[in-house]
């Protein structure tokens, strides 16, 4: 059974730090290149999180455009609202990706990065996305497939058990594998699919890998029991990574997948 992450104040702080690392800065540049937002466009950012992508999008659509950041978590909305406070074209609101409270055809662009993997009714969320876009409107959905992970460890079995526990933090840890077909079924034309790697071939203290390692430790400490993993084992897994880092033997790679589609 899935036990999803709680996007509270602590999670918001950790996520913001992780999403300012070079891997995720590069992801946002890729998303913007694929979406090519234009001045005056109306853009919806579903699961706006700390508002880092929304901030760039608001700047690009300008004061003649509109940026709506939607999120289910009040703690994330607080961070996003602070970041977007000086952008009159931007507003943030609480809402659910699977139940968008907007009229049909309200947006030119709808983007959602690292969100749909948390949504239980993914097909409803994709149908909602289609409904709120104008004909010809663009969407970009980006999610991780945790099956793509290559993460070196001194104890492969323990690593597999920790990662099996981590899979539980999402409704679908393998969403990208079915996302293209789901988008087409909802009526979208998929134009481009790109791999966006989170890649640390060696230890970098300020990196997505270093951040997610701490998040996984916290999650597995709280939820490992259901997988028969003790807190001591989780700590041993974490300490092993630090030792590998010291010896120059750290290696981490996982792929996110960005789908650009048109209504």
Ligand X SMILES: C[S@@+](CC[C@H](N)C(=O)[O-])C[C@H]1O[C@@H](n2cnc3c(N)ncnc32)[C@H](O)[C@@H]1O
> How remote is the C-alpha of 169 from its chain's centroid?
12
DSSP letter for 96, please.
Answer: B
Helices 231-246 and 208-223: angle between axes, nearest 10 degrees:
160
Q: Tell me: does residue 65 bind ligand X (CB under 6 A).
A: no
Work out which of 97, 122, 140, 196 binds ligand X, going by CB under 6 A: 97
Residues of span 117-146 touching ligand X by CB under 6 A: 118-119
Cα separation, 128 vs 251, in Å, equals 39
Q: Could you say whether residue 35 binds ligand X (CB under 6 A)?
A: no
In whole angstroms, give the CA distance from residue 182 to residue 123.
7
Q: Does 21 bind ligand X (CB under 6 A)?
A: no
Q: How would you class 169 by CB atoms within 10 Å of its CB: exposed for 0-12, middle for 13-18, buried for 19 or more?
A: buried
Q: Give φ, ψ of 214 to 5 degrees.
A: -70, -40
Stretch that binds ligand X, among 50-58, 130-138, 156-164, 237-245 (CB under 6 A): 50-58
- The verdict on 53 binding ligand X (CB under 6 A) reads yes
Decide: is 96 part of the binding site for ligand X (CB under 6 A): yes
**Residue 49 in the binding site for ligand X (CB under 6 A):** yes
**For ligand X, which residue of 35, 73, 163, 234 counts as binding (CB under 6 A)?**
73
Q: How far is CA 42 from CA 37, 69, 86, 88, 126, in A?
A: 9, 11, 18, 13, 18
State which residue, 58 or 119, has the beta carbon closest to ligand X: 119
Query: CB under 6 A: which stretch of 93-101, 206-214, 228-236, 247-255 binds ligand X?
Result: 93-101
Region near ligand X per CB under 6 A, out of 58-66, 72-80, 162-170, 240-248: 72-80
Determine if 7 is a binding residue for ligand X (CB under 6 A): yes
User: Quick check: helix, strand or coil at residue 218?
Assistant: helix
Q: Is 79 in the site for ligand X (CB under 6 A)?
A: no
Three-class SS of residue 237? helix
Task: List interacting residues with ligand X (CB under 6 A).
Answer: 7, 15, 19, 47, 49-50, 52-53, 70-73, 76, 96-98, 113-115, 118-119
């Amino acid at each position: 059974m899935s036990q999803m992450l709680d996007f509270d104040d602590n999670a918001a702080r950790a996520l913001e730090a992780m999403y300012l690392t070079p891997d995720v800065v590069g992801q946002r540049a890729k998303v913007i290149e694929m979406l090519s937002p234009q001045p005056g466009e109306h853009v919806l950012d579903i699961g706006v999180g700390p508002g880092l992508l929304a901030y760039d999008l608001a700047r690009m659509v300008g004061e003649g455009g509109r940026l709506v950041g939607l999120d289910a978590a009040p703690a994330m909305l607080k961070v996003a609202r602070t970041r977007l406070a000086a952008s009159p074209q931007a507003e943030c609101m609480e809402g659910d990706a699977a139940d968008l409270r907007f009229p049909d055809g309200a947006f030119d662009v709808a983007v959602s990065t690292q969100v749909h993997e948390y949504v239980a009714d993914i097909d409803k969320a994709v149908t909602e996305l289609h409904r709120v876009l104008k004909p010809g409107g663009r969407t970009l959905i980006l999610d991780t497939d945790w099956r793509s992970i290559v993460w070196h460890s001194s104890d492969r079995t323990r690593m597999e058990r920790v990662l099996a526990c981590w899979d539980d933090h999402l409704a679908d840890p393998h969403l990208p594998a079915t996302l293209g077909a789901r988008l087409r079924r909802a009526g979208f034309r998929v134009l481009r699919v790109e791999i966006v790697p989170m890649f640390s071939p060696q230890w970098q203290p300020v990196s997505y890998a270093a951040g997610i390692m701490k998040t996984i430790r916290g999650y597995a400490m709280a939820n490992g029991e259901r997988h028969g993993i003790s807190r001591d084992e989780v700590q041993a897994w974490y300490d092993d990574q630090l030792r590998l880092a010291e010896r120059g033997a750290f290696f981490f790679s996982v792929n996110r997948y960005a789908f650009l589609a048109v209504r």
